[in-house]
Structure 1
Amino acid sequence: MAAVRGSVSRCGRRALCLLVTVLCAVHHASAVEVYAPEEVFVENGTNAKLSCTFKSTEVTGTSTSVTWSYTGEASGSKKSSVFHYTGGKSYPAKDGPFKDRITWAGDLNKRDTSITIEKINFRDNGTYSCQVLNPPDIVGSYKDIKLRVVEKENLPVSNVPFLVGIICAAIGGILLITIIVSAVVITKKKRSRKDYSGCSTTESLMSPVKQPPRKSPSDAEALVTNVPSGTVQGPVIYAQLDHSGKAGNQINKSDTVVYADIRKNC
């Protein structure tokens, strides 16, 4: 029984080690993600650039490889390799319709695997596949691109000029509104300064004060002395105070006291 138990235990440990090894291998062998446009329109007779990029958790090196394949539109067409790149060298097709027409236009350091096809024609219509291998990311991934060769007048209209025009118009409108608002604010400030009419301190002190017509003094006005004629700040009212302590209307002793100094207010 002890021998059986020991054998089972050893088998369990081996299975566990094998499982850990497989999980580590799967973890390190992640897939490469490839990105490319689904469809490309190219004018007949021009050079066509097929753009393709990729993402990988591993650093690119001499073992990184790129393969481009082509499948025609005719029914029953087979996929065939037309370009290969690895170790910093290009390997274009040596025969067929793409001979001496495909060149490398990418940069592995920038994760770019694009190619250029020269003198494109209608026979080049079809599907182009971009596949990237970057060990230890051994699970290769690829992306298909539909190539449409058309005449110049049939090329789809780009929205870029239209969008640029809209952006420029919006910026111009904002600048125009800013200029108008600034001009209005400046004009209002100038008008407010012109509309203000106040008297200066010099004017308030030097302006003559009109004196009221003089009247003959009466019994009730005996205690008030008029201000001497001339240009002054304002009429001053004087009064005489009784310090005798006696009752009655007779004033024996008095001092002149200024009660008020009325000045011109602006």
Structure 2
Amino acid sequence: MLISLHSGETQWASALKLSCVAMVMFLACPVMSMDVLVPALINALNGSDVRITCTFTSCYKLDPSKFAMNWTYQETSNSTEEMFMTYKNTYKMIPLKPSRFGERVMFTGNLDKNDLSITISDVQLTDEGIYNCYVRNPPDRIQGHGTIQFAVLTELPPPRDSTIAVAIGASVGGILALLILSMVVVKCIRRHKNQELISDEQKMEEEGKVDGEGGTEEATKNLSLLPEDI
């Protein structure tokens, strides 16, 4: 009886330890799976050198003996993917040098910083398409995947003509200035009229007071001139 009880306590303690370890791992690593970070769209000028970035986050440190990644290219979303760079148990990135790119693709990332970026030199019109960055970092079970739409421009877009915008802004500013000036003038005129009305009312009140005082004095004089009652 004591042995079975001790065995039950041991199992309970083991389960508690496993739960604590799982909780610590969860708190220490809020990212439950791998995340691959890439730009959704890159516009490149024909003939230029362009860096295509791809980085990833993982709960686990990169193990060169288990880590694997591939770069692939597609002309369209319905086209077959063509692998042009890979890493698998070799401790370095291996460009496959397909006929499309030749030696124009170079790994310019940093595995120590989870950076898997590449650079395409002398961009051609045929480089336009979809680039996929696949990452696997065991013991992460989920394979990370980032998709980049790559567009090649034959010339830079013309700068926007700001003349119209400046003219419109100046016109609107002038109209606003006139409105503000008109409001100020109207306000000043109203204030001046109000002051004149107040002055007129004050004058009328003063004249009324003077008239009242004069009438009182005259009445007093008239009373003094009347004969005394006998």
TM norm structure 1 = 0.45
Structure 2 segments unaligned to the other structure (5+ residues): 1-17, 161-230
Q: Counterpart of 1:106 in structure 2: which amino acid? A: G
What CA distance in whole angstroms lies between the structure 2 residues aligned with 1:61 and 1:118? Answer: 30
What CA distance in whole angstroms lies between the structure 2 residues aligned with 1:131 and 1:76? Answer: 18
State the Cα deviation string for residues 229-254 of structure 1 (Å, max 9, x = none): xxxxxxxxxxxxxxxxxxxxxxxxxx
Q: What is the correspondence of 1:216-227 to structure 2 with a 5 Å cutoff? A: none
**RMSD in angstroms over aligned alpha carbons?**
2.8
Partner of residue 67 from structure 1, selected from 65, 70, 83:
70
For the structure 1 residues 44 and 38, does the alpha-carbon distance in structure 2 shift closer, same or farther, using more than 3 Å as the test?
Answer: same
- Residue of structure 2 in register with 1:140 after alignment: 143
What CA distance in whole angstroms lies between the structure 1 residues aligned with 2:95 and 2:47? Answer: 20
What CA distance in whole angstroms lies between the structure 2 residues aligned with 1:76 and 1:51? Answer: 23
- Offset of residue 79 of structure 1: 1.1
- Residue of structure 2 in register with 1:33 after alignment: 35
- Offset of residue 112 of structure 1: 0.8
Q: What is the correspondence of 1:151-190 to structure 2 with a 5 Å cutoff? A: 151-154=154-157
Please state if 1:124 is matched with 2:127. Answer: yes
State the Cα deviation string for residues 110-134 of structure 1 (Å, max 9, x = none): 1111011121111111010111111
Higher strand share: 1
Partner of residue 103 from structure 1, selected from 103, 106, 115:
106
- Residue of structure 2 in register with 1:79 after alignment: 81
TM norm structure 2 = 0.52
- Residue of structure 2 in register with 1:46 after alignment: 48
Partner of residue 59 from structure 2, selected from 51, 57, 60:
57
Asked which structure has the greater RCO (Cα within 8 Å, sep 6+), the reply is: 2
Runs of 4+ in 1 over 6 A off after TM superposition: none
Aligned residues of 2:84 and 2:98 also touching (Cα < 8 A):
no
Please state if 1:115 is matched with 2:118. Answer: yes
Aligned residues of 2:107 and 2:119 also touching (Cα < 8 A):
yes
Q: Counterpart of 1:36 in structure 2: which amino acid? A: V
What CA distance in whole angstroms lies between the structure 1 residues aligned with 2:75 and 2:159? Answer: 23
For the structure 1 residues 136 and 123, does the alpha-carbon distance in structure 2 shift closer, same or farther, using more than 3 Å as the test?
Answer: same
- Residue of structure 2 in register with 1:9 after alignment: none
Q: Counterpart of 1:131 in structure 2: which amino acid? A: Y
- Offset of residue 76 of structure 1: 4.6
What CA distance in whole angstroms lies between the structure 2 residues aligned with 1:80 and 1:47? Answer: 21
Higher helix share: 2
Whose Rg is larger?
1
- Offset of residue 153 of structure 1: 2.0
- Residue of structure 2 in register with 1:219 after alignment: none
- Residue of structure 2 in register with 1:210 after alignment: none
Q: Counterpart of 1:109 in structure 2: which amino acid? A: D
Query: Identity of counterpart residues, as a percentage?
Result: 29
Aligned residues of 1:43 and 1:155 also touching (Cα < 8 A):
no
- Offset of residue 155 of structure 1: 8.0
